[in-house]
Amino acid sequence: MAFGRIERKRGETPMSEINMTPLIDVMLVLLVIFMLTAPLMSSGLKLNLPSTQGTQKQPPNPKAIRITLTADNAVRLDDTVITPEALAERLQALKGSDTEVHLRADRAVPYGQVAEVLGLLKAAELRKLAFVTEPVGAQTAAAASAAR
């Protein structure tokens, strides 16, 4: 009988280095996702205004002005026809005030014309803007009464 040391195989030693490959892969995937979604988050103005379901009748605001863009390219300010230059002057007179603007645009109005009015509002520093729409049920009722 030998009283000696029993040789035992040593197990594998734990890795003392962090494997960076999975971390780099995850970071690259996140980078690609952010690169793709960043432009989508900055452009959030999709307009299909005339037919909305959540439209509620709001009480009229006496300080509000109404700008209406009609299908025949006429611009109205509080039910009076006005030129775009005169509209710009009127809006500049209200510059920086707390006036609320209600913008109504016909479906046939090109988006470029709406964008021009929005540019005039931005130049006049008018920040309270409401896009006025009609409820879906009101449009069908108006179409039915027009057909009679």
Residues 6+ apart with CB under 8 A from 131: 47, 49, 103, 105
pLDDT score recorded for residue 148: 46
pLDDT score recorded for residue 145: 47
- In which residue are the tokens 């959030």 written? 44
pLDDT score recorded for residue 111: 84
Of 16, 55, 27, nearest to 139 (Cα)? 55
Residue 2 has which token pair? Answer: 């030998």
d(CA 45, CA 118): 12
pLDDT score recorded for residue 26: 95
pLDDT score recorded for residue 47: 36
Considering the segment(s) 62-138 as one domain, its CATH architecture is 2-Layer Sandwich (3.30)
pTM attached to this predicted model:
0.52
pLDDT score recorded for residue 46: 38
pLDDT score recorded for residue 31: 95
Domain boundaries, the chain: 62-138
- Tens of pLDDT along the chain (148 residues) come to 556 677 777 777 777 788 888 899 999 999 999 998 887 776 443 333 455 455 555 555 567 888 888 888 888 888 788 888 888 888 888 887 778 888 888 888 888 888 888 888 888 888 888 877 766 654 444 444 444 4
